[in-house]
């Protein structure tokens, strides 16, 4: 049996490349210089689930990390705490 889960994007943020090109940088384990620039944050929820997800994505929107929260405000605060620059959120409908 296969299940299809629909993820609803609530808020999306894209780093303005004029500033520093990323919100933060994930260092790749075992490498001195390789890493991943996090350029997008997406706050989402799945159908039939009250959990809020914060996805950290690279420049191609590949998910590189995620965290779960009980509410949107906590997800926003977490992203702002991690970010090296200010975040402008866009509401997605």
The pLDDT of residue 83: 83
The pLDDT of residue 31: 55
DSSP of 21-77, one letter per residue? S-SEEEEPTT-SS-EEEE-EEEEEEETT---EEEEEE-TT--EEEEEEESSHHHHHH
**Per-residue pLDDT for the chain (93 aa), expressed as one digit of tens each?**
566 667 899 999 987 654 555 666 555 555 566 677 888 899 999 988 999 999 998 888 889 889 999 999 999 999 988 887 788 899 997
Report the relative pairing of strands 7-14 and 40-46 from DSSP bridges: antiparallel
Q: How far apart are CA 93 and CA 79, in angstroms?
A: 20
The pLDDT of residue 38: 83
Q: Sign of torsion, CA 44 7 23 34?
A: positive
The pLDDT of residue 4: 62
Domain-wise residue ranges, the chain: 7-87
């Amino acid at each position: 049996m296969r299940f299809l889960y629909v993820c609803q994007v609530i808020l999306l943020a894209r780093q303005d490349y004029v500033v520093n090109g990323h919100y933060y940088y994930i260092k790749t384990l075992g490498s001195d210089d390789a890493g991943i620039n996090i350029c997008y944050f997406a706050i989402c929820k799945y159908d039939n689930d009250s959990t809020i997800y914060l996805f950290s994505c690279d420049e191609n929107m590949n998910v590189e990390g995620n965290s779960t929260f009980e509410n949107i405000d906590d997800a926003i605060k977490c992203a702002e705490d991690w970010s090296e620059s200010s975040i402008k959120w866009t509401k997605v409908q």
